[in-house]
Amino acid sequence: MAVGIFDSGLGGLTVLDAVAGKLPDVPLYYYADSAHAPYGVRTMDDVHGLTKTAVASMWEAGCDLVILACNTASAAALRRMQEAGVPKGKRVLGVFVPMIEALTERQWGDNSPPREVAVKDVALFATPATVASRAFQRELAFRAIGVDVEAQACGGVVDAIEDGDMILTEALVRSHVDALKRKMPKPDAAILGCTHYPLMHDAFQAALGEDVKVFSQADLVADSLSDYLERHPDMIGDADPAFVTSGDPKRVSDRATQFLRRQIIFQSA
């Protein structure tokens, strides 16, 4: 029995770690589409197709509930998959839903008119594809008024993290924050809109300044999943817990072990 967690690469392991800490008794099935990573430089249609294929394989493996622990996949594929309909007894949820709930201080299903919220100027750091989708801005606009979102496409950051080059990653973070500040000098809050970015939380915070509230997704997703499973305990499914990848299992295992600082063994998807 396992809940599915999907990502284009290893960023979703930050979500897996937070979920495992919050829900230690819930087995997890992690799928990394490493053969096609990174998604952040692909077209929306391409990401939708890849995500749809991967999630279908996770459903077939017995994951009744799949979390898209990838903002690019959530932005490009979640709404289209839900609108097209999913198999009976299956669910797919997106990773940025809890972030929107935290920013707007209201539940996702709250369809009351948009209202003012505490934050006014929000910096969004995300992959080029997520920024191009404007999914964060769209979902925020449904729920909040008077919020100015300035997005910064953080090219190169995911690749540098996956390559384990922290010196380059920190330099790229500072560069992207500087670029954002030229457009929005004093943001109230910042969204780390990629599941890789929590690993660089301290670097983003240092570059932004301590007075900027930085929203990172992993813990928010874990809290949201805990609440969801309390209401829908039957959604755990019958998949065996596993780590699978469309890429080279040995290479992905080595990177994942470095990523989480504990041994992770991937199998071929």
Residues marked active site are found at 70, 194
Q: Are 22 and 46 in contact (CB under 8 A)?
A: no
Up-side HSE of residue 141: CA atoms within 13 Å toward CB? 7
Which of 130, 196, 128, 191 is CA-nearest to residue 165?
A: 196
Beta strands in 71-120 (DSSP E): 91-94, 115-116
Residue 10, number of CB atoms within 10 A of its CB: 27
128 in Cβ contact with 159 (< 8 Å): no
Q: Which of 164, 240, 244 is nearest to 199 (CA)?
A: 164
User: Pairing relation of β-strands 267-268 and 242-245?
Assistant: parallel
Look at residues 100, 96, 85 and name the one whose alpha carbon lies nearest to residue 130.
Answer: 96
Q: What whole-number distance in Å separates Cα of residue 97 and Cα of residue 113?
A: 18
Long-range CB contact pairs, 52-56, < 8 A, 24+: 52/77, 52/81, 54/6, 54/246, 54/269, 55/4, 55/6, 55/81, 55/92
